[in-house]
Structure 1
């Protein structure tokens, strides 16, 4: 039954018209095995287009009769026995050969909370991808986006987060990590984090932040309460590049922002799910004008002195 449900959700969420993300999230969180079964099928993602036809299985169905997404794909599951069998076989093979790593993805503007077996809590911001291990609650890998970690400390088995080639190790810690392109940012709100403990072993106590990019490392002081402030609906910065700020805004609000003037920003911005209302307040603070187009929000540096 669990495999059938996982297959049903796999097919449905691959539909470009799928909209029932709330129901899908409830299903994932209803039982521990749901996410594992779904992730295993998604690992066979490259094989699915060949197995699931783009056109309806029954030629008698009108071409313009799309129906409700849930009922349409359920009908495919019942009627497409050969497809279902092939996908279940793919699931069985994947479950046998795959590692115990699973992936959590969030859509732009979506937030997910993961509670690990060791008591650690991870809050994942929008537009992010995080990998975890079913058999190792002391491991995480942030591939892109942003996540906040409230770690249950164990000196004999430290929690480690891998970001690209970098490793961050906790020492009784609350911290926030952003991965955008080739740049990584971490801020520590409580306790301590060790940057690359097996090589550099740089200590980052509470109130410190590190940025790593193609130009090297930068370590600065930050207000601990500003770390992961997105969880409280605000973004706080101290002399931050505007490119970092706009990336954080886009991730949190689920919008596209085109370009960022070469400016820096110090201050706090309150988030608002209404982009028009948000930019009406935030654009003057950032020293930019904001215009919405079909390609996204275009930001340009304001002319003249700022009040």
Structure 2
């Protein structure tokens, strides 16, 4: 799928999701979008037709009404609502995309915790993968990537006519001549931009993130903040740099970079840290230096490490 076709697909899919919501009211804007280009109508109709297979793909969910709303007849489609910051919308995106993700030209690259890998794409873009990362790429479209989990730094060759896009869950990050780093884990995504600019969800919020800006999305919502450009993807230089970051997230970064299991007590996990921690593959030596920097102590527990507050007993 070319960059232009991918953008059209994203736009049409967005309208499918929105118009299926019983509370949707923006019919004037939808009509203008359809009339702007005959290709819009075709793309929308194609995705609407795909809903006939949703019953076989998406399991029944108790939040659905017991009787069909917006019944379209034979298909008995059950409208999905925008719940939990778009979680149900993401489920619909995944369901409608199953066929395209099963194409033979889509391939997956995975790194083990503690392992790093650098990938050079045909378009001149470089992707550096940190440990514990899963990334999907397309043999037929070097302007696309999907970060399923973990951390990756992108050094993108800019092409205004065919922007590079990274899909992360139900979000899209589009480059504008850019170096940026994305971390994605269960329930949370964060990005920092060191050069150029990234557009978050260009077909929805369209939040511009120039160099020196970052964004986090988690259970508390969407937050934009300043970041030091030279700290973005600092793991590539053997250091982890933070500005008021909770230890729970730092623990995940350490585990990814060192390849060891890291947990924290509730009090330690809520502690916030600003500073730089040097990565040392020797775990005992690393924790002996890193834990005091964060005002914590570290003890070995089985095959992993526990971060705890001060001299508090391990629990």
**TM-score tier (shorter):** 0.5 to 0.7
Matched, 1:269 2:274: no
Counterpart of 2:161 (choices 156, 175, 180) is 156
Provide the aligned C-alpha RMSD in A: 1.2
Distance 2:311 2:273 in 1: 17
The runs of 4+ residues in structure 1 deviating greater than 6 Å are none
Shift of 1:244: 1.1
Which residue does 2:296 correspond to in 1?
A: 288
SS in 2 for 1:122: strand
Distance 2:126 2:103 in 1: 25
SS in 1 for 2:253: helix
- Structure 1 portions without partners, runs of 5+: 1-96
Which residue does 2:203 correspond to in 1?
A: 198
Which residue does 1:102 correspond to in 2?
A: 107
- Structure 2 portions without partners, runs of 5+: 1-101
Shift of 1:98: 3.4
Give the TM-score, by structure 1 length: 0.66
Distance 2:105 2:220 in 1: 35
Shift of 1:295: 4.1
Counterpart of 2:116 (choices 100, 111, 117) is 111
SS in 2 for 1:148: strand
Q: How does 1:1-307 map to 2 (within 5 A)?
A: 98-260=103-265, 261=268, 262-303=270-311
Which residue does 1:78 correspond to in 2?
A: none
SS in 1 for 2:142: strand
Question: How many residues align structurally?
Answer: 208
Distance 1:136 1:115 in 2: 13
The answer on whether the counterparts of 2:184 and 2:190 sit within 8 Å (CA) in structure 1 is yes
- What whole-Å deviation, never above 9, does each CA across 1:110-135 have from its counterpart, x for those lacking one? 00110000000000000000000000
Shift of 1:303: 4.7
SS in 1 for 2:292: helix
Distance 2:170 2:219 in 1: 13
Give the TM-score, by structure 2 length: 0.65
